[in-house]
Amino acid sequence: MIDISSQTEAALAAIATAETLDALEAQRLDALGKKGWVSLALKTLGGMSPEERTAAAPAIQSARASIAEALDAKKAALEAAALEEQLARETVDLTLPAVAAPKGSVHPVSQVMDELAEIFADLGFAVATGPEIEDDWHNFTALNMDETHPARAMHDTFYFPDRTPGGPASSSEAVGQQEREILLRTHTSPVQIRSMLAQGAPIRIIAPGRVYRSDSDATHTPMFHQVEGLVIDRDIHLGHLKWTLETFFKAFFEREDITLRLRPSYFPFTEPSVEVDVGYSTEGGRRVVGGHGDAPGHAWMELGGSGMVNRRVLEFAGVDADEYQGFAFGLGIDRIAMLKYGMNDLRAFFDGDPRWLAHYGFSPFDQPTLSAGVGARA
């Protein structure tokens, strides 16, 4: 006959000192398993007389209950300790810098567009946009280039060969103009027309974006970027245009000695038309904007076209040309980006080479602000 109470005491002591769940399981099997001593003791009850059984059973039952309870309590304690240990081991230090994370960078074209918006916003300009898939009315006709105008041929336009039913030409906007051809816009000037039709005069906007021409060499890519400017109000004259461009370029290149030259030119949508040149010098093999283009060691570089908006354009866009006039300009964004940041091959802008981006790209934290000097590298 086994001594239940000393067996129980020994089992409870072993359970109390068990250090692992495995050790605890061994104790459970030893006492309560099929062949455990408690189970065996319970089995002996079957062969006893009722009196013997009444005398022996309570001790065995209470041994089983107290051992089961101790096992449960110890199991819970060991599991809680294991969880604590795991949590301590798997702690993540969120304050560590993410050194291993892949680094992206902001493309110089995006950066320059942000710089443009920042500078022109300060001059009271809003940013407007228009579709890159245009129709020939907005891209040409309303800009005073009718079907036979020779300037159309100079634009190397990508036309869409088939205008499918249900496409842009049959949208409600174009009802009645089924003859409109669909193309990739060749310049940002159609945004002038769209903005005037949408909001009328007075108006003061810039419109940066992608434009497309079938052209490709070291200084031309089939897709490139322009920024259009448009100011329409009462009593606007060429002096306003010159001041606006000078003020913009001084802020953009972050220097005061910017000299602009306005050369007579021709664009169907402006009258008079001028081309805008800026003085630059070559320092250390790199073109640096500043100074007078006719000074020794200096030259002029063409940055874009501009002029007073032709009254026919105002009429196409529904603006009263007797009451309002204004100026417009169109600048090559990639070109002024190259001048400011020193790249010499336009094609590399659109190759997507990560080494080029790592070198010429900007940190997303490097937001252009006038107070910090637009485009200043952190």
| Residue 207: CB minimum distance to ligand DAH, A | 9
208-227 binders of ligand DAH (CB under 6 A): none
The sign of the torsion formed by the CA atoms of 126, 174, 132, 145 equals negative
**Taking contact as CB under 6 A, which single stretch among the options 56-64, 299-307, 318-326, 360-368 is the one that binds ligand DAH?**
299-307
By CB under 6 A, name the one of 305, 326, 368, 375 that touches ligand DAH: 305
Q: Could you say which of 328, 336, 338, 346 contacts ligand DAH (CB under 6 A)?
A: 328
Question: Which residue, 15 or 191, is less far from ligand DAH as judged by CB?
Answer: 191
> Hunting for tokens 């252009």 — which residue is that?
368
139 binds ligand DAH (CB under 6 A): no
d(CA 304, CA 228): 10
Taking the C-alpha atoms of residue 223 and residue 186, their distance in angstroms, rounded to an integer, is 9
Bridge partner residues of 261 (DSSP): 277
Nearest approach in angstroms of CB 238 to ligand DAH is 12
**Which amino acid is present at 22?**
D
User: Using the rule CB under 6 A, is 270 a contact of ligand DAH?
Assistant: yes
**Does 334 interact with ligand DAH (rule: CB under 6 A)?**
no
204 near ligand DAH (CB under 6 A): no
Q: How far is CA 324 from the centre of its chain?
A: 38
Report d(CA 297, CA 292) in Å as an integer. Answer: 10
Binding mask 307-326 for ligand DAH (x = CB under 6 A): x-------------------
User: Measured between alpha carbons, how far is 368 from 377 in angstroms, rounded to an integer?
Assistant: 9
Q: How far apart are CA 212 and CA 159, in angstroms?
A: 10
Binding residue for ligand DAH (CB under 6 A) from 74, 138, 187, 204? Answer: 187
Q: 3-state DSSP call for residue 332?
A: strand
CA 359-364-365 angle, to 5 degrees, is 110
Nearer to ligand DAH, 120 or 267 (CB): 267
Provide the binding-site residues for ligand DAH, judged by CB under 6 A. 187, 189, 228, 267, 270, 305-307, 328-330
